[in-house]
Structure 1
Amino acid sequence: MSGHKYLPNASKIASKVVAIAKHTGRKTVKASDIKLALRT
């Protein structure tokens, strides 16, 4: 059941990834964007 504590965070991380992708002006999300979002 340890995976459940990450669920509320997932949407926050997803919106961060989208924000990073928009900020860089790219239409696609790269793995580096996701890593960056997870780090912040």
Structure 2
Amino acid sequence: MSAEFWAIIGVGTIIFFTLLKTNDHLAETNRRLQTFWEHLLDQRR
């Protein structure tokens, strides 16, 4: 089993699981990122 083989398997698995995720999960992640950035920006003021 070559390194290229495992790289393809890894990327394929990540893409597969990403496609399985629901929009709710994406929205949740988005909201957390937004909260994180707002918190970071507030600290710099």
What TM-score does the superposition give when structure 2 sets the normalisation length?
0.43
Kindly name which structure, 1 or 2, has the bigger radius of gyration based on alpha carbons.
2
Bigger helix share? 2
